[in-house]
Structure 1
Amino acid sequence: MPTLSLFDTAMTALTTALATPMGIVALCSAGVAGMLVIVSSFVKTMIPLRCLAIGGNLGFLIYGALHPSLILVLLHGALLPINIFRAAQMVRLTRRVRVAAATSDFSGVWLRPYMRRRRLRKDAILFRKGDEAKRLYFLAEGQIEFVEIGQTMEAGRLFGEIAFFAPDKRRTLTARCATPCTVLQMDESTFKTLYFQNPAFGFEVVTLVAGRLIADRQRLEDRLAATTPAT
């Protein structure tokens, strides 16, 4: 019977592998790697998934080297550095956002690697009051004027994020380039990708936005207190 022949072949290969310490190590490595792959199918967030993938790559690399398989060595040798890089990238981003939230750093510098550059001429309108907020922005160079309130923002600041997270997602001010500007922008799909890959990122960003709102409210209260005559 073909089934019995296949079973006998598999048992012979297994017995041969278990006959040497190197074969035992190879099989154990493959077994652990296989378990990690199975566990990874139940993981919903990116950092644990990448860590499990790294473990699986190492296990199959060891198996491919000790139980010679060039295809396994090449495949997992190529995947290992990619998974390490992506895991480190997400951990670094989470750490940067956490530090920014803890120190009340509202500049948004930590988002720059994930944003697209856009150059604008003087007097160009970035968005108008009432527009749908589809992006958040970082001003890399130049000055942005918020027309309705007559305030100008210098480079090195994150802006447009309040409407980006607001329920109606509508701009409350018009942003005009007071000088030639270089603006970095992130759209909603990119933000959602980062969020679903690493929910800790989204939580820390929400914390940061809440801190921004509280700081803005405090500045408004201080301004009203300074302009209100004492009784």
Structure 2
Amino acid sequence: MAIPEFMAARAAELTTSLADPWQWLALGAAGLAAVLIVVSAFVKTIIPLRWLAVASNTGFIVYGLVHPALLILALHLTLLPINLWRVAEMHRLTRRVRRAAASASEVQVWLRPYMKRRRIRSGEVLFRRDDPADRLYFLVEGRLEVVEKGVVIEAGQMFGEIAFFAPEGRRTGTVRCVEPGMVLSIDETTFKQLLFQNPAFGLQILSLIAGHLSGDVRRLEALVEARSEVPPPPTQ
């Protein structure tokens, strides 16, 4: 078939298709789905990205049914439940994060699948100042002490997160066990994946860091105030 004849045949098919309202629906659904794919290229967070994928799958399913296009229909009928399952999974994690914001004990519930358990003995050093920061910790039971600050870490508290964000990636203090117990820990790679996948988790960690830094500022202010109240030594 010559090129002019081929073009004429395609033009005739397009004219026939546009005369059918159902084909307008199919083309509109496919066009909207294509636009959503382009938009998803600019989205950086997982949950909105998955919802865009669900909407795009739906548009291509409509196109595949009405046009019809069986391969496109089969592909997106396969992808749609996968994307819906991923959305549901991320929303479950988000709800757990929100509950954790109200109760610190909830943290171990939604982080437990990603964490490793470790028993600690009294006097044992968990990590030392200037050690590489490779894990985040959650104290399940027992008591710990930040040696340099004299701060006691109680059961139900998360710690060790500040060093993950420090430029040098080093521990800012030595943590020693005061009472035997158990800690859960998560490695840096998994921790950063959770931050990327769920912004709500990142907000919870930022809130935790802000609380720890505020405590450090209050202790420093109290120390400065106490020193300012000490009378100077008498002059000879």
Partner Cα distance (1:175, 1:7) in 2? 79
Number of the residue aligned with 1:60: 60
Q: How does 1:59-98 map to 2 (within 5 A)?
A: 59-90=59-90
Number of the residue aligned with 1:210: 210
Out of 90, 114, 117, the position equivalent to 1:116 is: 114
Residues 152-176 of structure 1: per-residue CA shift (max 9 Å, x gap): 5443221111222233332211344
Contact 1:106 1:212 in 2 (8 A): no
Q: Gaps (5+ residues) in structure 1? A: none
1:49 corresponds to 2:49 = yes
Partner Cα distance (2:44, 2:146) in 1? 44
Partner Cα distance (1:205, 1:230) in 2? 38
Distance 1:7 1:95, change over 3 A: farther
Number of the residue aligned with 1:173: 174
Partner Cα distance (2:2, 2:157) in 1? 70
Distance 1:112 1:201, change over 3 A: closer
Partner Cα distance (2:226, 2:92) in 1? 42
Partner Cα distance (1:115, 1:35) in 2? 37
RMSD of Structure 2 on Structure 1 (CA): 4.0
1:183 corresponds to 2:184 = yes
Partner Cα distance (1:41, 1:82) in 2? 19
Residues 146-203 of structure 1: per-residue CA shift (max 9 Å, x gap): 362676544322111122223333221134484352514141x334334445567545
SS at match of 2:133: coil
Distance 1:193 1:121, change over 3 A: closer
Number of the residue aligned with 2:141: 142
Partner letter of residue 132 of structure 2? E
Partner letter of residue 107 of structure 2? V
Contact 2:143 2:179 in 1 (8 A): yes
User: Greater Rg, structure 1 or structure 2?
Assistant: 2
Q: 1:91, CA displacement in angstroms?
A: 5.6
Q: Matched residue pairs, number? A: 227
Partner letter of residue 15 of structure 1? T
Partner Cα distance (1:223, 1:107) in 2? 31
Distance 1:145 1:57, change over 3 A: same
Q: Gaps (5+ residues) in structure 2? A: 232-236
Residues 109-164 of structure 1: per-residue CA shift (max 9 Å, x gap): 1883486221223336542332111221223x332523626765443221111222
Distance 1:34 1:227, change over 3 A: same
Partner Cα distance (1:66, 1:146) in 2? 67
Partner Cα distance (1:119, 1:85) in 2? 29
Number of the residue aligned with 1:163: 163
SS at match of 1:131: coil
Partner Cα distance (1:165, 1:224) in 2? 27
Partner letter of residue 119 of structure 2? R
SS at match of 1:142: strand
Number of the residue aligned with 2:20: 20
